[in-house]
Amino acid sequence: MEKLEPYDLTPDPVESFARWFGLAQKNDFNPEAFSLATATLDGVPSSRILLLKGHGPGPQFRFFTHSTSQKGHDLQENPRACMVFYWGKSERQVRIYGAVKKLGRDETAKYFSSRAHMSQLASFISDQSEPIESRESLESKFDRAFENHKEGQVPLPENWQGYELEAKSFEFFVYGEHRLNDRFLYALQKDKTWSITRLQP
């Protein structure tokens, strides 16, 4: 296996991700953004952009959303997902696959309380992905919630949930000249070590 150092990679994909994420935080707009791909039990896929809300100390990646949304239903049926981070200015990409579990309500509540007051209200009134009559009815619903919760903590919605993906594989991708890209696949082995395979562009 050739040396990984030129791409700031290490034998540990968690450390490698931390290095690349740090670089993206310096170079890229909104480096926390990632695409989350899920699928129903019978294989119907969907994807959307979310924000990473914490990672580590091991191969764990956390995000928060509504459990009654499409992704929430998918993860309830089929608790596996793929995350893709694209950092254009850094010319790098990371793809992470793994199993997903729900975080406890205490951890979910802790994060919810850290959000901006207006963001809490938006989550409080939302039945994410459900039809709504009009923009005006949504804004009216928000205004009523604002009047009821001008001060103090907004109650944690029953359908607001934290999730944690535990990685089973990482793919690190570096854009190369003439599209001779570099790709390195880390796969978790039964003994909890990581194999590393260089892939063709």
Residues acting as catalytic residues: 179
Distance CA(19)–CA(22), nearest Å, equals: 5
Distance CA(13)–CA(37), nearest Å, equals: 20
| Residue appearing with tokens 């459900």 | 130
Query: Contact at 8 Å (CB) between 82 and 69?
Result: no
Q: 160 - beta bridge partners?
A: 66
Query: Contact at 8 Å (CB) between 82 and 100?
Result: no
Query: Contact at 8 Å (CB) between 163 and 85?
Result: no
